Structure 1
Amino acid sequence: MSSSVSLKTSSGLLLDMRLLTANDLADVLLLERSVHSHPWRQSSFEDCLRGRQRCWLAESKGTLVGYVVVAHGGGDAELLNIAVAPSYQRKGIGSCLLQYAVDYVKDHADMMFLEVRVSNRKAIELYAREGFFEVGQRKNYYPTVNGHEDALLMACQL
């Protein structure tokens, strides 16, 4: 799969997809902190630069609007992180990011797994629309302001 591709969302928004570079880290971290209550550290995104996982950015007219991080190995793949800028949510970007990640890993894996906060109904609905189904839960997986929250473990046959 090319590292630079153009896609169109269901709402007609044109996205330019490309791999993360070191120059993108500051913008990615700003987006990460704007959408996640317990954001990834910079070192987690730096792992993408070293090839342990892949991070694709979605840009619209030169503006970072989202990203997706995946890893694969041993016949399985995992969606590690996905985010869409708050002002661009509900425009089909999340679906495009997810489909892009699935297309990348399907030649390397038979199944894709992900964890999602049990309270994140919008994300769970997106994953279900894209063919993911519940396979279990991880107790107290995610940190919260007042403790921990369970994760729903979901999978998709590729």
Structure 2
Amino acid sequence: MSYSIRTAKISDLVAIVDLNNSSNPYPWSERLIEESLNARTSWVLQSDSARPDALTAWLVASNVCGQSELELILVAKDERRKGYAEALLLAWRNWADELKHDELLLEVRESNVAAIELYYKIGFEEVGRRKNYYTHSSGKEAACLMSLFLK
């Protein structure tokens, strides 16, 4: 597994939109992705096996008052379970630690067991739930709220 991680740039917009549309069951609009690239912190991961114009994964986080909150992490469908999400999450954690942030935050669908297990592995703890937060084809489900204190 060979890959590179770097800060996302506005020139990545087309590749991120492609990744979003092919990998996100609830895709963001192109406008929201562009706004995220301009106003938030994000990284892209490109595996050596990916096409030169394609991205393997993307993570975007917002930052305020010593906290950084994961807004979205995407990994290409055919590249999942290879450690790329973990690599991006660790890059995010290291970046926040260098900036002396106090805490990382995220929310995740309660049905996303693989993601929840990964977040626990990295050190996140569940700190609450939002009932009926997410809508999907068969109804609603809760969001698990998770936190990782850095200090």
| Aligned-residue CA RMSD (Å) | 1.5
Given candidates 106, 113, 116, the residue that maps to 1:121 is: 113
Structure 1 residue matching 2:81: 3-state secondary structure:
coil
Matched, 1:28 2:46: no
TM-score by length of 1: 0.84
Structure 1 residues 50-69: Cα deviation after superposition (integer angstroms, max 9, x where no partner): 2x211211012334110111
- Separation in 2, partners of 1:98, 1:44: 21
Corresponding position: 1:48 with 2:41:
no
Q: Which amino acid aligns with 1:27?
A: A
Give the share of equivalent positions with the same residue, in percent: 36
Shift of 1:41: 1.4
Work out whether 1:78 is the aligned partner of 2:69: yes
Give deviations 1:105-151, integer Å, cap 9, x for gaps: 12241111100000000000000000001000112222212443211
User: Given the alignment of the two structures, is residue 88 of structure 1 paired with residue 79 of structure 2, yes or no?
Assistant: yes
CA contact (8 A) 1:16 1:59 kept: yes
Higher mean Cα deviation, 27-36 or 107-116?
27-36
Query: What 5-or-longer segments of structure 2 have no aligned partner?
Result: none
Q: Which residue of structure 2 aligns with residue 143 of structure 1? A: 135
Q: Please list every run of 5 or more consecutive structure 1 residues that lacks an aligned counterpart in the other structure.
A: 1-12
1:68 corresponds, among 48, 59, 65, to: 59
The runs of at least 4 aligned residues of structure 1 exceeding 6 Å deviation read none
Aligned residues between the structures:
145
- CA distance in 2 between counterparts of 1:143 and 1:28 reads 24
Deviation at 1:22, TM superposition (A): 2.6
Q: Which has the higher helix share?
A: 2
Between the aligned partners of 1:21 and 1:76, the Cα distance in structure 2 is 22
